[in-house]
């Protein structure tokens, strides 16, 4: 299959609200030649990244908007525009190959439309963008609700956040301290001719100068390293782990933090890792096996403690709560297409319910670390503030890191170009059991 068609089909599922790229793209990648997989991926992710700009341009050039049934043609047009504006594909190939894909959609009328719009875009895009860029949605390539939220919450940082969200994320490794110190592993990378440097905030983190196939890195198969963003790597040390503790990792998939907890403290009494769907635990299991680690995996709704908890309290809990993922847009640009403003209050509600449920399973004197990969205080400091108000036995502890910006509760890390993702942490201690 033509990589342009594969990318458009994956995107069409996202535009129709039926899937994320993570779920729609793998099926399409299986249909293209091996040599085209990287290109297909770039087309899908790149188009999603710049979609607010590309759609604004398309709107100017189209006489009428697409019908819902033609999301595939719309996606193909956006893929064509992305090639013209953001890649090195020669314009004649970008236009010719994209138009040629319309036959495969069984919509012959689309050929003329695609050809006309793409040729006009090639000629007129600079003049059109000069006019459109007065709109911050077009200028920052973020949907209006998100652009407005970021501006309201982060008036000084919002443009830098948008820029970081549109940049390619760096590849960051986590060194498994059971095998090597970070310095020792940096030495192995130098020997292999791979340029890298230590991360600023994570003691186990290394940022590679250029992305590489992880399988080609020293000791990957042997479990010496994992790929994990620096912000996510802070969780294990912020938990203050010690031998003999029983640890819960709630909402654990894909398992990076579960594994890091086990790497950081080999003498734990045990780790229980819960996630909503059994299929999400497959990845956790694979990661544990590669690293030679063990945890008890349970598929259940974290809120339904009766379904999964054995009544023995935990000394440490990591609650990496489901969230808008607005801190990791650079890794998942389709969040711009799939997230809506009204998702946020519902997520904050769920986060509060998970906190209440997990709190019951925490021992008095135990610590719960709340984390999200959201950049929005509605899901972060406000959730923690509300929880502290309704939970007399909870107190907040300071976080032992200088990463991010101190908030009324917890710390907010904002996405940094060449550095960590957007992330949030707050640390709570249980000083008394609930009455009643």
pLDDT tens, position by position, 93-142: 999 999 999 989 989 899 999 999 999 999 999 999 999 999 999 999 99
pLDDT, position 17: 87
pLDDT, position 436: 54
Q: Region 32-52: what's the mean pLDDT?
A: 95
How far apart are the C-alpha atoms of 337 and 75, rounded to whole Å?
Answer: 12
pLDDT, position 193: 95
Q: Is residue 376 over pLDDT 80?
A: yes
Q: Region 323-334: what's the mean pLDDT?
A: 96
Reduced to 3 states (helix: H, G, I; strand: E, B; else coil), residue 390 is helix
Structure tokens at 70: 């033609």
pLDDT, tens digit, for every residue of 272-281? 999 999 999 9
pLDDT, position 226: 97
Work out the angle between the directed axes of helices 71-86 and 91-100 (0-180°, nearest 10). Answer: 170
Instruction: Identify how many contiguous H helices and E strands the chain contains and give both numbers.
Output: 17, 13
Residue 313 CA, distance from chain mean position: 31
Q: Is residue 398 over pLDDT 70?
A: yes
SS3 content of the chain, % helix, strand, coil (to 5): 50, 15, 35
Q: Is residue 203 over pLDDT 60?
A: yes
How far apart are the C-alpha atoms of 40 and 52, rounded to whole Å?
Answer: 20
Q: Is residue 147 over pLDDT 80?
A: yes
pLDDT, position 18: 85
Q: Is residue 160 over pLDDT 70?
A: yes
How far apart are the C-alpha atoms of 21 and 10, rounded to whole Å?
Answer: 6
Query: Could you tell me the CA-to-CA distances from 234 to 19, 33, 197, 230, 423 in Å, in that order?
Result: 30, 39, 17, 7, 10
Reduced to 3 states (helix: H, G, I; strand: E, B; else coil), residue 403 is coil
pLDDT, position 434: 77
Q: Is-contact 28 10, C-beta < 8 A? A: yes
Mean residue pLDDT across the chain: 95
Angle at the Cα of 5 from the Cα atoms of 35 and 96, rounded to 5 degrees: 90
pLDDT, position 39: 95
How far apart are the C-alpha atoms of 252 and 242, rounded to whole Å?
Answer: 20
pLDDT, position 284: 95
Tokens 């890649």 sit on residue: 87
- Give this prediction's pTM: 0.94
Tokens 């990318």 sit on residue: 7
pLDDT, position 74: 95
Q: Region 325-338: what's the mean pLDDT?
A: 96
How far apart are the C-alpha atoms of 289 and 75, rounded to whole Å?
Answer: 39
How far apart are the C-alpha atoms of 53 and 67, rounded to whole Å?
Answer: 20
Q: Is-contact 375 436, C-beta < 8 A? A: no
How far apart are the C-alpha atoms of 98 and 4, rounded to whole Å?
Answer: 6
pLDDT band at residue 63 using 50, 70 and 90 as cut-offs:
confident
pLDDT, tens digit, for every residue of 280-299? 999 999 999 999 999 999 99
Q: Which residues are catalytic?
A: 373
**What is the rounded (10 degree) CA torsion for 259, 403, 364, 354?**
-70
**Mind listing the domains of the chain with CATH numbers?**
3-141 (1.10.940.10), 172-227 (3.30.70.1170), 230-430 (3.40.50.150)
């Amino acid at each position: 299959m033509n990589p342009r068609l594969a990318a458009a089909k994956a995107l069409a599922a996202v535009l129709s609200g039926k899937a994320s790229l993570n779920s729609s793209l793998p099926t399409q990648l299986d249909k293209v030649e091996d040599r085209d997989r990287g290109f297909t991926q770039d087309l899908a992710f790149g188009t999603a990244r710049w979609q607010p700009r590309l759609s604004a341009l398309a709107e100017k050039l189209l006489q009428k908007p697409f019908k819902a049934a033609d999301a595939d043609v719309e996606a193909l047009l956006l893929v064509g525009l992305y090639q013209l504006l953001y890649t090195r594909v020669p314009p004649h190939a970008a236009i010719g190959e994209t138009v040629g894909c319309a036959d495969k959609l069984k919509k012959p009328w689309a050929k003329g439309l695609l050809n006309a719009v793409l040729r006009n875009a090639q000629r007129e895009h600079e003049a059109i963008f000069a006019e459109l860029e007065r709109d911050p949605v077009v200028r920052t390539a973020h949907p209006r609700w998100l652009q407005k939220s970021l501006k309201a919450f982060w008036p000084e940082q919002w443009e830098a956040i948008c820029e970081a969200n549109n940049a390619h994320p760096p590849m960051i490794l986590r060194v498994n301290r059971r095998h090597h110190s970070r310095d020792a592993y940096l030495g192995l990378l130098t020997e292999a001719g791979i340029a890298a440097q230590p991360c600023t905030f994570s003691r186990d983190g290394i940022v590679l100068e250029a992305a590489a196939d992880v399988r080609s890195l020293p000791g990957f198969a042997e479990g010496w390293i994992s790929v994990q963003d620096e912000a996510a790597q802070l969780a294990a040390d912020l938990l203050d782990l010690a031998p003999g503790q029983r640890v819960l990792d709630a909402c654990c998939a894909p398992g990076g933090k579960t594994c890091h907890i086990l790497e950081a403290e080999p003498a734990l009494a045990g780790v229980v890792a819960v996630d909503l769907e059994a299929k999400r635990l497959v990845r956790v299991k694979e990661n544990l096996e590669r690293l030679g680690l063990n945890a008890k995996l349970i598929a259940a709704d974290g809120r339904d403690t009766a379904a999964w908890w054995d009544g023995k309290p935990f000394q440490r809990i990591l609650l990496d709560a489901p969230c808008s993922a607005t801190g990791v847009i650079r890794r998942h640009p389709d969040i711009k297409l799939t997230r809506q403003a009204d998702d946020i209050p519902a997520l904050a509600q769920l986060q509060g319910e998970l906190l209440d449920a997990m709190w019951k399973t925490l021992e008095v004197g135990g610590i719960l670390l709340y984390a999200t990969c959201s950049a929005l205080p509605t899901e972060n400091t406000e959730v923690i503030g509300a929880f502290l108000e309704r939970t007399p036995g909870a107190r907040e502890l300071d976080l032992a890191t200088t990463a991010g910006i101190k908030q009324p509760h917890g710390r907010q890390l904002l996405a940094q170009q060449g550095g960590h993702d957007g992330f949030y942490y707050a640390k709570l201690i249980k000083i008394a059991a609930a009455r009643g």
